[in-house]
Structure 1
Amino acid sequence: MKKTLIALSSLLVVMPAFSGVHTYAEGQSPAAIPETDQVIIHYEENVVSKLAESETVATPGEDADHLATLEVPDNKSIDIFIEDLEKRKDVESVEPDYLVKLDYAANDPDLIDFQYHHKTIESSLAWDVTLGSSDVVVAVIDDGIDLNHVDLKSQIVSHYNMVEGKSFTKGEHGTHVAGIIAGVMNNKTGGAGIAPKTKIMAIDVFDGDYALISDIVEGIYKAVDSGADIINMSLGSYFPSTALEKAVQYASSKGVVVVAAAGNDAISEAHYPSSYNSVISVASTTSGDGRSSFSNYGSTIDIAAPGTEIFSTLPNDGYGWMSGTSMASPVVAGVAALLKAKEPSLKNTQIADRLYLTAKDLGTKGKDTKFGNGRVNAKNALMNIDKTVPVVPSVGVVTDSTTSITGKTELNAKVIAYAGKTKLGEAVAKNGKYTMKIAKQKAGTGISLYAIDAAKNKSANKTVTVIDKTAPGIPTVNPVSNKSTTVTGKAESNAKVYAYAGKTKLGEAAAKSGAFSLKIAKQKAGTIISVYAVDAAKNRSGTKNIKAADKIAPSAPSVNSITSKTTAASGKAEKGAVITVYNGSKKLGQSTASSTGTFKVKISAQKKGASVKFYATDKAGNRSGSKTIVVK
């Protein structure tokens, strides 16, 4: 890639300096990396105008001709330069072309058992199945490889240099990594690789101790387009890059297995490219299957492999030890190569799943932040032997209205659910998550779930109780009057029934066997009484409103004296009541009491000594007793 680039000088926009702030666990921080003096530009699609001084990054497909690099001018900071460029209409985005360091840690060549990692991952038993295949190519994107090393020269199928102006080098780091993957076997020299018949594509992206992301991006595209089946990147940084992420996504979309070192700073900070979803992130273990002290950890770790004091090839037909996730990553890449040789039709995602499912579980049961899915095992992977019991399925809340249950367990394990001896359903945990359709179950029902993996390993049971989330039906309530001292009716069996008048609680009672009777104080006619039920699960029904009927008869009217000359009888009664006057069975007249309770009823004059009776009937139809007046 072009390194000497002419800088722009016409854009004069000032912005705050780029902070570059990152947080690291346990008070540690990654080893210092020099600042880059170059940026990666993402051009808008279908642009006509481009920066003449930029250098296009070789990318296929939709990114072709839309990705380029440009050197930062000497008189500007990288962050000001980025903002200047982002002001342009033909630029979609700009990011620093960060420098990336090799992921190896200091080593002490004092190991008796030179290649203990083969015993750890059971390589010899895997070799009984296959030694790999010359049809499988692993691209080693690194600092170059000694192409003439006695253990590697017959393994190299091609080599490329991504750094313009620099010749291909026989890097110490890259040579060591290549030997771990595919060092020749049975030549009576040195050790052997994990997949000794696999071929290596050597891609040099480093210029000294560092590499630009843009060169790594080009290396990835070159590896994919040149026919690599697997890519190993024992390198990384703590700076996310859109260009790098798109490159690994491109590789994954083309079926390439991408493996990368998780980093050697003993922190949980996201590390790239290993933290990208389409990359197998590899942590490092010791000869005793412990976590290497330098190995990064965290939620993005997928798998672990031996990485402490690994014996492999070095330039000029040399051999030696190195430690780091840089060494662990090619161990996994080598096992992936064996798998690809044995089962060529496996997709990259299937190879990753096989590695995870057949790994030896270390640390916390199931996937954890130190070892991911466990330490890789070559024998188990090739024989598809999985002796790890799946994680007990997790399950969300299940209610009596639930028709599907969801949760998590081992990747691709089958989850089965039962209620007693009745099978409710089953589902496969794709990507470790499952969704299972079930029929609605009664509240209180116990549901048992367990997971079975491809090797027929069965997890322990997970039992959940169906929660009652169905509200009781609205209670039925018998008529209530202003004479009532109880409210009766029917509601859900054993639910508690409450009665209110406005905000005033009148009483409560349990609906034993579905019937209830609660005591209340007498209420005025017309009072609205609200009744509802609450079940044992605290679900509340709707409300039944009932009006207190008027069932109390008015008092008998008081009547003024009547003479034989009276033609209008008067007196007092309940206001609004209808006053009716009779002489025997003969109705003499009728009128309504006023708002003050007075009334006057027109009648015909009655004979002296006649008995005239007066009745009051209220609005509810209740009739008072009679008041008899003798005519004077």
Structure 2
Amino acid sequence: MIPAGAHAEQPEKFAAGRILVSPRAGLPAAEFNKIIKTHGAHAARKLGGINVYVVDMPPGREKALLQALERNPHVKFVELDGEVTMQMTPSDTYYSTAWHLPKIGAPAAWDVATGSGVTIAILDGGVEASHPDLAGHMVPGWNFFDNNSNTADVNGHGTKVAGVAAAIGNNAVGATGAAWNAKIMPMRISDGAGNITYYSTVANALTWAADHGARVANISYIVSHVAAVQTAAQYMRSKGGVVVASAGNTGAYTANANTSAIITVAGTDSSDVRASWSAYGPIVDVAAPGVSIRTTAVGGAYGSYSGTSFSSPLTAGVVALMLSANPALQPSQVDSILASTADDKGTAGRDDYYGYGRINATRAIAAAKAAVTSDTSVPVVSATVPSATVKGITTVSATATDNVGVTRVELYAGSTLVASDTASPYSFSWDSTTRADGATSLVVKAYDAAGNVGSKTLSVTVANNTIADTTAPVVTIGNPKAGTTVAGNVGVTVSASDNVAVTSTSLYIDGSLKATGNSSLSYTWNSRKGPKGLHTISAVARDGAGNTKTQAVQVTVN
């Protein structure tokens, strides 16, 4: 997961004039708007169901605003709204035998479950709803790129993906999906050509699918490393759903960290060897067949296709079989069963090429059927605040673990609910001015899917009005010194202190905001981008009472 106050590895291509920001749960909307308006931006809209905002600003300011917000203590994560392209390789010669299904043991799994009662959301370029091997099992979806109900397939990819997951079986027609009795929810997330989507579009589609009954979602794009998508996937998991995504077809190692929110799938061939085009690395959870996969195609046709775009929906289909066999399974149980029942490949144990191994539907469904789903264990909770005496808006950080899985964590001030957070790491911003001065109990509660509740109580003292704070912070620009001559890349350092606490420090060059931080910050100024001559560097420190202090130095750029 993305740590508090940080952002994920940023994409090369991204939407102009917007970024994605997740404030800590509980931060008042007015305070959030104040933070971003300070930097010339505004919150355009909140993504459905999750605490992530699409924030607009003038094009060209995206990276500067990201840098300014990533050090703010009340921001959980911030990232560019990255552009994602489809993961698909050219079609192989038509392959009439669906080798991938017996390879993973699907026929024996179908003796136990066929996907009945489970809906799979296909987040892609749309699905051909009239295809004879799909039409009988379609349910309404949504077009998130154009914001309408037209989910027709724009380039054929989504129809192929849907068929791998859930083409109707036992009907003497065409192909067979892994979960051939499951329902298909078409979710168009791509542009009109079916090639490009954005992080915000994927996250929006995930929360919509979760709210409309999908238990499984497939994303044949490289998105497992994206904080906003992870947050949306956690939201779906809080409702009992599971998200599966492609590792990608780069053929290269990716250092992105693994996430518990999404099952990420690499591709294998008929010899159970990693396909040369399959990406690999810590992000991979399992592997699945992805070479010459027979499936549905637009125009009521069929064909064989290759890529992790098809390894992913094959795994999503197996997950649907597991949930069909045992609807009470929790997402964390799906994760552990899928991993423990996989056929170990490559290096013994988990490795970066195959994850925990190539999926095995027979063993996964048997284990799912036998899994005990009664749960009486309460989550274990811990929580911290920066200080036992608080004023203004303070942060509260929490951790919660459970034998099955935590669905949400809530913060209470006394008996009043402050906010709820569904995505780890759990963090809150609490406005202490809503309580009278004096002793207050902060209670953090963690819930699991069975309704068990664990809690942790913190005792704090609210001191907003007891002593008026009229002392301004002290702020110092350590480098460069006033009156010096500089050139090239210049390291600017700022430090600040206060009798109570510094809440923010801002750095300006010639009146333009360059960076923000807490009691200290550093910034690399490329002086070559501006004119030669005299320039002013200024730093402003603020405390919780609104006192400010500014220091400025002038330097000459040679």
User: TM-score, normalised to structure 2's length?
Assistant: 0.57
Structure with larger Rg: 1
Q: Counterpart of 2:144?
A: 162
- The offset of 1:322, in angstroms, is 1.8
- 2:30 is aligned with 1:41: no
Give % identity: 33
| Separation in 1, partners of 2:321, 2:292 | 23
* Alignment correspondent of 1:258: 243
- The residue identity in structure 2 corresponding to 1:130 is A
Paired residues in the alignment total 350
Give the C-alpha shift of residue 339 in structure 1.
1.2
Q: Which stretch shifts more, 223-232 or 49-58?
A: 49-58
2:172 partner letter: K
CA–CA separation in structure 2 for the residues paired with 1:283 and 1:199: 25
Pairing 1:58–2:41 present: no
Over aligned residues, Cα RMSD in angstroms? 3.1
Aligned to 1:124: 107
What is aligned with 2:472?
none
Using a 3 Å threshold, how does the CA distance of structure 1 residues 255 and 366 change in structure 2: closer, same or farther? same
Residue in 1 that maps onto 2:170:
186
Note the 1:10-409 alignment, pairs <5 A.
Answer: 34-37=13-16, 38-42=18-22, 45-48=27-30, 49=33, 54-60=43-49, 63=51, 67-70=53-56, 72-73=58-59, 76=60, 78-83=62-67, 94-111=78-95, 113-133=96-116, 135-164=117-146, 167-171=150-154, 172-207=156-191, 208=193, 209-237=195-223, 240-270=225-255, 275-384=258-367
Where do residues 363-512 of structure 1 align in structure 2 (5 Å cutoff)? Answer: 363-384=346-367
Contact 1:138 1:337 in 2 (8 A): yes
Distance 2:230 2:169 in 1: 36
Call closer, same or farther: CA 1:372–1:86 in 2, change over 3 Å: closer
Decide whether the 8 Å contact of 2:119 with 2:213 is kept in 1. yes
Is the contact made by 2:221 and 2:309 (CA closer than 8 Å) also made in structure 1?
A: yes
Deviations 1:34-56 (A, max 9, x none): 44313223457213247686431
Give 3-state SS (helix, strand or coil) of 1:221's partner.
helix
What is the letter of the counterpart of residue 236 of structure 2?
A: A
Q: Are 1:151 and 1:183, in contact at CA under 8 Å, matched by a contact in 2?
A: yes
Change (3 A) 1:315 1:69: farther
SS at match of 2:122: strand
| Secondary structure, counterpart of 2:317 in structure 1 | helix
Amino acid of the structure 1 residue aligned with 2:232: A
Structure-2 separation of matches of 1:281 and 1:336: 13
SS at match of 1:157: coil
Instruction: Check whether the contact 2:326–2:368 (CA below 8 A) recurs between aligned residues.
Output: no
Structure 1 CA distance for aligned equivalents of residues 88 and 255 of structure 2:
17
Judge conservation of contact 2:267–2:291 (CA < 8 Å) in 1.
yes
In 1, the alpha carbon distance for the partners of 2:55 and 2:305 equals 34
Counterparts of 1:543-554 in structure 2, within 5 Å, are none
Q: CA 1:114/1:77 → structure 2, altered by over 3 Å: closer, same or farther?
A: farther
Shift of 1:108: 1.9
Distance 2:333 2:78 in 1: 35
CA contact (8 A) 1:303 1:374 kept: yes
Say which SS state the counterpart of residue 97 (structure 1) adopts: strand
Answer whether contact 2:94 2:303 (CA < 8 A) is retained.
Answer: no
Query: Which 5+ residue runs of structure 2 have no aligned equivalent?
Result: 1-7, 370-402, 405-558
Indicate if the aligned counterparts of 1:57 and 1:218 stay in contact, CA closer than 8 A.
Answer: no
Contact 2:256 2:282 in 1 (8 A): no
1:101–1:237 Cα contact (<8 Å) kept: no
* Residue 90 of structure 1, CA deviation: 9.4
CA contact (8 A) 1:306 1:328 kept: yes
- Determine the structure 1 residue equivalent to 2:485: none
Consecutive unaligned residues in structure 1, runs of 5 or more: 1-19, 23-31, 387-410, 413-632
8 Å CA contact 2:246–2:312 kept in 1: the answer is: yes
Q: For residue 342 of structure 2, give the secondary structure of its aligned residue in structure 1.
A: coil
Instruction: Indicate the residue corresponding to 1:557 in structure 2.
Output: none
CA contact (8 A) 1:137 1:227 kept: yes
Provide the C-alpha distance between the structure 2 equivalents of 1:369 and 1:281, rounded to a whole number of angstroms: 11
The one-letter code sitting in structure 1 at the alignment partner of 2:324 is A
Please identify which structure carries the higher strand content. Answer: 2
Cα shift readout 1:576-610 (whole Å, capped 9, x = no counterpart): xxxxxxxxxxxxxxxxxxxxxxxxxxxxxxxxxxx
Contact 1:139–1:228 under 8 Å retained in 2: yes
Contact 1:163 1:206 in 2 (8 A): yes
1:39/1:97 contact within 8 Å kept: yes
CA contact (8 A) 1:40 1:70 kept: no
Could you tell me whether the CA contact under 8 Å between 1:284 and 1:305 is conserved in 2? yes
Distance verdict in 2 for CA 1:192–1:71, change over 3 Å: farther
Aligned partners of 2:284, 2:333: CA distance in 1, in Å?
Answer: 18
Contact 1:179 1:192 in 2 (8 A): yes
> How far did 1:199 drift?
0.7
Pair 255,270 (structure 1): closer, same or farther in 2 beyond 3 Å: farther
TM-superposed CA distance for 1:101, in Å, is 1.5
Task: Name the structure 2 match of 1:603.
Answer: none
